[in-house]
Structures are given as structure tokens and as C-alpha cells.
Homo-oligomer: A and B are copies of this chain.
Amino acid sequence: MMAPNANITGDDLVITSITAKDMRWPTSLGGHGSDAMHTDPDYSCVYVTINTERGVCGNGLTFTLGRGTDIVAMTVKALSYLVQGRNAGEIFLGFGQFWRELTSESQLRWIGPEKGVTHLAVAAIINALWDLWAKLEGKPVWKLLTDMDPELLVSTIDFRYITDVVTPAEAVELLRQNAAGKEQREKELLEVGYPCYTTQVGWIGYTDEYIREKCKEYIAKGFTAFKIKVGRDINSDIKRCKILREEIGWDNKLMVDANQIWDVNEAIEWMVKLAEFKPLWIEEPTSPDDVLGHATISKALSPYGISVATGEMCANRVMFKQFLQADALQFCQIDSARIGGVNEILSVYFMAKKLNVKVVPHAGGVGLCEMVHHLQMWDYTSLSGSKEDRYVEYVDQQHEQFINPVVVENAHYMALTAPGYSTELKPEAIEQFEYPNGSEWQRMFNEGIFKRKE
């Protein structure tokens, strides 16, 4: 048992209610976020609010693409009986065990386990609990994690299925080994922030002219790393890569992203044709489940200086474990809304540190930038202690919907100081974009701007 902490102790921390809202934005209308596999995304999220008797609430979310958001929201409701009536402070002091209860519900686990809809629902609940914890402590999540006693932090993780790579004792030791210089790194984050790259220059749906315009805009903002979507057809990809290099030059970094479009051998052949553009990495070359396939691709592309990145649709820590063990990726792209929330993501950071792989988080969507910059900042202050060749993805979308959105200056995420996990939506966002009854949705349906598919 950990030392008691007055902020998270008290009978008034009983959870009185948990709600899940289906929130959608009509981003498909502008082609934003489009890629080879997801041609018409409507950036959406399941937005969970956990209320306590003390009156403090936690807000958390998982990102979705429109249709199916209601399915995840329903799953949050199915899990709610495990949350409601529990004391939040007791949850935090036995968080690893609580996480296992949520993910191992004896009947619901059959329709997962720890993947897809059920795990997205867990992520939204868990993220809301971290927001609550951080608000109770009066700190942003990155600072809460940075200040946390190593044993307490490690106790939030369920190590089931990963002890062959890292044990709780080893994780504690990794934190202790990297404690030196922590204050200095924290100070540095508050002053200059953490570097990011942009994906805003090359969605599949963008025209050549718009790509050039966007490149100029982001270069002017100080960006030095740029990602574009590939995989629709090779000639178009060559043209787009050429435009990018013309605009950003050869000192800046170029990354390309196929969003799972290829088979294993196809990925290798295709990327050899793009090698002349010297991409730093190819992202999601094939199925997000294909560890061995990614390992084959990594080995084949290594002579060309092209690394492999993946992770945004990696289902859970067991899949990440294998990607890390098999040298199937050289850049590990955790996602703050997919695997089972902060607790499980921390386990991936520990495995990546142990196996010496760089973490470069996926972000964008709704709230992903807001959440993940906390985690990467903690990694810098407390675990990896390094920013070398590391960036957080940045997409300029939906930030205006949040009360405390991320702030990017000179291509760096600034360290937020407001308590919580930065994912509380503005009341007017909910009023307008809750689906399907929000005022903006009703307007779009009425005016025929948007047609419901179901």
C-alpha cells in the first residue's frame, strides 16, 4: 500500500455517475484526415465524464471516425457498473488491479479481449480517471506522473503477459536510474517545450497546390519534419514526394504513411521506389496486426535507410511487446486513445526503454495531441531523458473544442500547467456537436449538407 495522500483520500471521492457522449465533427466535408484506408473520416470521440461526491469530475475520451462512436459509448455504459459507486482514491491506489477488472470482465472479455471496441471503451474510462486524479492533485498529468513515487507509478500498470520483457521491479529501477537531471529537464520543457512534426501538409484528399501552400505555411511556423500520406498509386506518390522535397528541401525530415494499404512484399517493392526521396520512416506499411510482416519489411528497407513506424492501431501492450521484441519497428507510435489508457501506455514506454526503441507518439484526431503530449513529456523528464530523433505528431484540428487545448510554438508543444489531462470539452462544443442531436448536426441535416448513412 502506498503512502496516503490527503488529495485522493476521503469518503467524498465516491463516484456518483459516469456518462458517455457520442461527439462527432463533420471533417469529411473538407477531406481533412483522409488517407488510403480512411477516405471520409468524421473526427469523433466518445466523451466520458466521471462525477464524484466531492464535486470534482474527470473527463476522458477515445478517438473514433464517425460511425461506430455510438457502439463504443454503449460499451462504456456496459462497463459502468464496475466504476459507479467505487471510491476514486481507492481506485488510484490499486489502479493496476482496477484496470485488470475492467479489461477482464468475465463475460465482456469474450468480445475483445483487450482490443477493438471494448478496449477503446476502457481507454475512455481510464483516461477520465487520470484527468480526475490530476485535477484532485492540482497538476497537469505530465507533472503528476513526473512527481509520482516510482513504486506508485509502476503499481498503476497491469504487467500480465509482459513480464518476459519487463517486470515491476525493473520498471521501478528504470525510473530510479533516470532520475538524475529531472528538474533540469522539467525546467527546459516549461521554457521551450517538446518538438513536434506536422501531418497537415499531405492528406490523400489534398491537391498539389494546397500541399505546396501548406508546406510554406508550416515551414514559416518553424517546422522541420513533415509527413504525407502515400499508397493510393505509385505515380501520384512519386509526384507528391517530389513536391514535398521541392518545398521542404533535403535538410528537413520527410516521413510517409501508408495506413495499412499494402501486403508485405508489396510494401517493400513500393518503398524501394520511394527511397530516392529519403523518407525517415514508412508508417503502417501493412496490417497493424502483422508483427512478423513488419519485421520482414524493416529488414528489407534497412539498407535503404528507411525505418518502420507503427502503433496507432496496435491493439494492446502484448502486440507492442512483440513489435518491440521482433525489431518490427524502429519508431514506436503509441496512441493516447487506443490501448487501454494511460496505465497500459506507460507499460509500452517501459518496454520501449528496456528494448531501446524510440517512442514517437501518434496524435491528431480529437484530443490526441492534448493527451499524448503529457505522456511524452513525462517520458522525457523521467524515463528516456532524451528528445533525440523524437517528435510528437501535430495536427491542427479540433483544438478549439477544448477548454485547455495544446499550445504549439515554434514547432514545439508547450508544457501545459492547468490541472488534468487537457481533454475537457467546452460546453458549446457539446451543445453543437453531440451526435445526432447537437445544434450543428441538426442544422446540417436540415440543410442537406450532411446525410446520415445508417
Assembly CA distance A290 to B321 (angstroms)? 9
| Chain A window 81-100, contacts with chain B (Cβ cutoff 8 Å), 1 for yes, 0 for no | 10000000000000000000
Give min CB distance, A329 to chain B, whole Å: 14
Choice from B38, B39, B40, B107 contacting A68 with Cβ under 8 Å = B107
CB of A109 within 8 A of CB of B161, answer no
Asked if A345 is an interface residue, CB under 8 A from chain B, the answer is no
Interface members, chain A 9-41 (any B CB < 8 Å) = 37-41
| Chain A interface size range | 35 or more
Asked if A168 is an interface residue, CB under 8 A from chain B, the answer is no
Q: A111-B117, A116-B116, A116-B118 are contacts. A290–B318 as well, Cβ < 8 Å? A: yes
Which of A228-236, A291-299, A387-395, A398-406 is the interface stretch?
A291-299
Question: How many identical subunits does the complex contain?
Answer: 2
Asked if A263 is an interface residue, CB under 8 A from chain B, the answer is yes
Assembly CA distance A119 to B71 (angstroms)? 13
CB of A163 within 8 A of CB of B117, answer no
CB of B108 within 8 A of CB of A68, answer yes
Q: A111-B120, A161-B263 are contacts. A322–B291 as well, Cβ < 8 Å? A: yes
Give min CB distance, A323 to chain B, whole Å: 10
Asked if A66 is an interface residue, CB under 8 A from chain B, the answer is yes
Choice from B65, B74, B106 contacting A107 with Cβ under 8 Å = B65
Asked if A54 is an interface residue, CB under 8 A from chain B, the answer is no
| Chain A window 71-82, contacts with chain B (Cβ cutoff 8 Å), 1 for yes, 0 for no | 110110110110
Give min CB distance, A214 to chain B, whole Å: 23
Give min CB distance, A288 to chain B, whole Å: 7
Asked if A239 is an interface residue, CB under 8 A from chain B, the answer is no
Q: Which of A40, A72, A289 has the most CB of B within 10 A?
A: A289
CB of A454 within 8 A of CB of B104, answer no
Asked if A316 is an interface residue, CB under 8 A from chain B, the answer is yes
Q: A71-B117, A292-B325 are contacts. A265–B110 as well, Cβ < 8 Å? A: no
CB of A164 within 8 A of CB of B265, answer yes
| Chain A window 112-148, contacts with chain B (Cβ cutoff 8 Å), 1 for yes, 0 for no | 1111111110000000000000000000000000000
Q: A109-B37, A263-B163 are contacts. A289–B74 as well, Cβ < 8 Å? A: no
Asked if A287 is an interface residue, CB under 8 A from chain B, the answer is yes
Chain B minimum-CB-distance residue to A159: B263
| Chain A window 277-289, contacts with chain B (Cβ cutoff 8 Å), 1 for yes, 0 for no | 0000000001111
Q: A116-B117, A161-B263 are contacts. A292–B67 as well, Cβ < 8 Å? A: no
- Residues of B near A292 (CB, < 8 A) are 291, 321-322, 325-326
Asked if A179 is an interface residue, CB under 8 A from chain B, the answer is no
Asked if A64 is an interface residue, CB under 8 A from chain B, the answer is yes
Q: A71-B117, A163-B265, A291-B291 are contacts. A106–B38 as well, Cβ < 8 Å? A: yes
Chain B minimum-CB-distance residue to A120: B111
Asked if A264 is an interface residue, CB under 8 A from chain B, the answer is yes
Give min CB distance, A36 to chain B, whole Å: 10
CB of B164 within 8 A of CB of A106, answer no
Choice from B64, B106, B116 contacting A39 with Cβ under 8 Å = B106
CB of A289 within 8 A of CB of B318, answer yes
CB of A318 within 8 A of CB of B116, answer no
CB of B72 within 8 A of CB of A74, answer no
Asked if A315 is an interface residue, CB under 8 A from chain B, the answer is yes
- Residues of B near A265 (CB, < 8 A) are 163-164
- Residues of B near A116 (CB, < 8 A) are 111-112, 115-119
Assembly CA distance A405 to B316 (angstroms)? 38
CB of B74 within 8 A of CB of A70, answer yes
Assembly CA distance A127 to B290 (angstroms)? 25
Which positions in A face B, CB cutoff 8 Å?
37-42, 64-68, 70-72, 74-75, 77-78, 80-81, 104-120, 160-164, 260, 263-266, 286-293, 296, 313, 315-316, 318-319, 321-322, 325-326, 453-454
